Amino acid sequence: MRRTTRRLMRGLAVLSVLALGATACGGSDDDSADQKPVSAGDIQAALKKGGTVTVWAWEPTLKTVAADFEKKYPKVKINLVGERSGDKHYTALSNAISAEKGVPDIAQVEYFALGQYALTKGLTDLTPFGADKLKAKYTPGPWNAVSEGDKVYGLPMDSGPMALFYNKKVFDKYKVAVPTTWDEYVEAARKLHKADPKVYIAADAGDAGLTTSMLWQAGSRPYQVDGTKVKIDFADAGAKKYTDTWQKLIDEKLVAPIYGWTDDWYKGLGDGTIATLPSGAWMPANFVTGVPKASGDWRAAPLPAWTKGDKASAENGGSSLTVPELAKNKELAYAFVEYANAGDGVQTRIKQGAFPATTAELQSTEFQNTKFDYFGGQEANKIFADSAANVADDWSYLPFQQYANSIFNDTVGKAYISKTKLADALKSWQDASVKYGKEQGFTVE
């Protein structure tokens, strides 16, 4: 599920400094080696004994999952704290970890943010609980996001394989073919805008999540992370593919200067002035609730390819359930995490509109044959599942990606409002991220 990533996470940044310093001063590089294996019998004994598990998560489907879990294990109480949103969630989590007080037993953490908590030893390595044995259940992208080497810092809750959502009504009206490549996408943008100057192929005022996803699909790998050693480089061939193409859209003013998730953005999606949306598979539910009047106008299509026929895709968004290192009830916490993200809870969440990260559900006939009334009865899950299967699993986020994303609009954003070229703006983002990483004690190239 999508969360805003633009604003700064000052509290977490401070935590990172302190915790990284502690690591450099002699913390074990392999804390999990000190953890005793937790058997299925241990977990069942904990469930039988009972207790309270506090969960900090905003995912709405967890409410039903928690109720079902309590029904199955009547001695366990799930205290679901879900009123926090956006940065407040991470700030509260970081502050609690830093203060070593009030830390939840389970915390929802987005994939892009997970590395920072894992590196600063805020999360429990779930390998001793048997989480590593669940790898085959998940698609490669989400699993790669929660694991590092032989360690597993959470279980994937959902995923965001990308697709191109497009307004069929607009494309049909102007007799423009739905693009299958990014070159065709630029041509479609020109045709639509020429046919009606009020129509834009997309809205984009600068979004870190979209940009990193596009780089991911283009084969760029700007972030190389090995513990506290980090390399940042936006000069590879994949990045050039992206900047060369997206620069045309910016230069020719073919993308609407509208930030996502704003009132203007919803209005544009609803009235046809925003013709497409490259986004994650979690987007349909947002169309239904946020753009109800356009029901029937929109469809989903495979994400355009950089080379015709290529099926490479990328993830956009997605989150996991993690167990903080300072959690009090780890056996019970892990039991709930596994139930919600690998057990019966998966089906419960799918029925309420969540997009799974588990391969079996993605490939099931029932899931793939689901008809979306909003998309004119289209079986859109087939497109999303195909995308999930074609996500490269070698992408890495920075261990301080939250900070990097927070300065995206101060660096890359200039390409949208000035004559700064997108490639140069990415270099500015790189330089600022390198500077910050070094200041925090990372070895950064």
The Cα 442–Cα 437 span in angstroms is 5
DSSP 336-352: HHHHHHTSTHHHHHHHT
Indicate if 119 and 174 belong to the same structural domain. no
Strands 202-203 and 223-226: unpaired
Judged against a pLDDT cut of 80, whether residue 147 lies above it is answered with yes
Q: Residue 369's CB: how many other CB atoms inside 10 A?
A: 10
Judged against a pLDDT cut of 50, whether residue 333 lies above it is answered with yes
pLDDT, residue 8, reads 30
Indicate if 115 and 248 belong to the same structural domain. no
pLDDT, residue 148, reads 85
Given pLDDT bands bounded at 50, 70 and 90, which one contains residue 264? very high
| Residue 129 phi, psi dihedral angles, 5° rounding | -85, -5
Judged against a pLDDT cut of 60, whether residue 22 lies above it is answered with no
Q: Of all helices (H) and strands (E), which one includes residue 300?
A: strand 298-302
Residue 123's region, left for phi above 0, alpha for psi from -120 to 50, else beta, is beta
Indicate if 424 and 384 belong to the same structural domain. yes
Is the residue at 363 inside a domain? Answer: no
Strands 319-322 and 155-156: antiparallel
Is the residue at 196 inside a domain? Answer: yes
pLDDT, residue 285, reads 80
Indicate if 424 and 343 belong to the same structural domain. no
223, 55, 82: which is closest to 154 by C-alpha?
55
- 295 to 162, 198, 291, 298, 299: CA distances (angstroms): 20, 21, 7, 7, 10
Sign of CA pseudo-dihedral 62, 68, 71, 75: negative
| Residue 374 phi, psi dihedral angles, 5° rounding | -60, -35
- 236 to 223, 245, 351, 395, 432: CA distances (angstroms): 11, 15, 41, 14, 18
**What percentage of the chain exceeds 90 in pLDDT?**
74
Judged against a pLDDT cut of 60, whether residue 9 lies above it is answered with no
* Numbers of helices and strands, H then E, in the chain: 21, 15
- Pair 18, 98: CB distance under 8 Å: yes
Mean pLDDT of the 415-423 span:
96
Indicate if 309 and 331 belong to the same structural domain. no
Residue 129, classed as helix, strand or coil, is: helix
Mean pLDDT of the 63-72 span:
97
Judged against a pLDDT cut of 80, whether residue 432 lies above it is answered with yes
pLDDT, residue 88, reads 79
Indicate if 304 and 195 belong to the same structural domain. yes
Judged against a pLDDT cut of 50, whether residue 17 lies above it is answered with no
Mean pLDDT of the 296-321 span:
96
- Pair 402, 5: CB distance under 8 Å: yes
**Structure token digits, residue 332:** 């019970």
Given pLDDT bands bounded at 50, 70 and 90, which one contains residue 81? very high
Indicate if 396 and 253 belong to the same structural domain. yes
Indicate if 183 and 295 belong to the same structural domain. yes
- 354 to 64, 109, 191, 205: CA distances (angstroms): 12, 16, 35, 28
Is the residue at 322 inside a domain? Answer: yes
**What percentage of the chain exceeds 70 in pLDDT?**
91
How far is Cα of residue 143 from the mean position of the Cα atoms in its chain?
A: 12
pLDDT in tens, 156-167: 998 899 999 999
Judged against a pLDDT cut of 80, whether residue 2 lies above it is answered with no
Is the residue at 365 inside a domain? Answer: no
Residue 151, classed as helix, strand or coil, is: strand
pLDDT in tens, 225-248: 888 899 999 999 999 999 999 999
Is the residue at 14 inside a domain? Answer: no
Indicate if 223 and 102 belong to the same structural domain. no
Indicate if 323 and 215 belong to the same structural domain. no
Q: Residue 14's CB: how many other CB atoms inside 10 A?
A: 14
In degrees, rounded to 5, the angle at the alpha carbon of residue 185 between the alpha carbons of residues 208 and 414 is 35
Q: Specify the pTM.
A: 0.82
Is the residue at 25 inside a domain? Answer: no
What strands lie across the sheet with 276-280, from one edge to the other? Answer: 276-280, 162-167, 298-302
Mean pLDDT of the 290-311 span:
96
User: Which residue type is seen at 10?
Assistant: R
What strands lie across the sheet with 155-156, from one edge to the other? Answer: 76-81, 51-56, 106-110, 319-322, 155-156
Is the residue at 28 inside a domain? Answer: no
Is the residue at 402 inside a domain? Answer: yes
Given pLDDT bands bounded at 50, 70 and 90, which one contains residue 6? very low
Mean pLDDT of all residues in the chain? 90
Judged against a pLDDT cut of 60, whether residue 25 lies above it is answered with no
Mean pLDDT of the 421-435 span:
97
Given pLDDT bands bounded at 50, 70 and 90, which one contains residue 86? low
Given pLDDT bands bounded at 50, 70 and 90, which one contains residue 437? very high
The Cα 128–Cα 99 span in angstroms is 26
Indicate if 152 and 165 belong to the same structural domain. no
pLDDT, residue 219, reads 97
Domain span holding position 43: 38-158+317-356
The Cα 345–Cα 65 span in angstroms is 6
Helix, strand and coil content of the chain, in percent to the nearest 5, comes to 50, 15, 35
Judged against a pLDDT cut of 70, whether residue 297 lies above it is answered with yes
Lowest mean pLDDT among 28-42, 61-75, 84-98: 28-42
pLDDT, residue 380, reads 95
CATH number at residue 104: 3.40.190.10
Indicate if 49 and 60 belong to the same structural domain. yes
pLDDT, residue 34, reads 62
Total number of domains constituting the chain: 2
Mean pLDDT of the 288-315 span:
95
The Cα 48–Cα 42 span in angstroms is 10
- Pair 200, 254: CB distance under 8 Å: yes
pLDDT, residue 28, reads 38
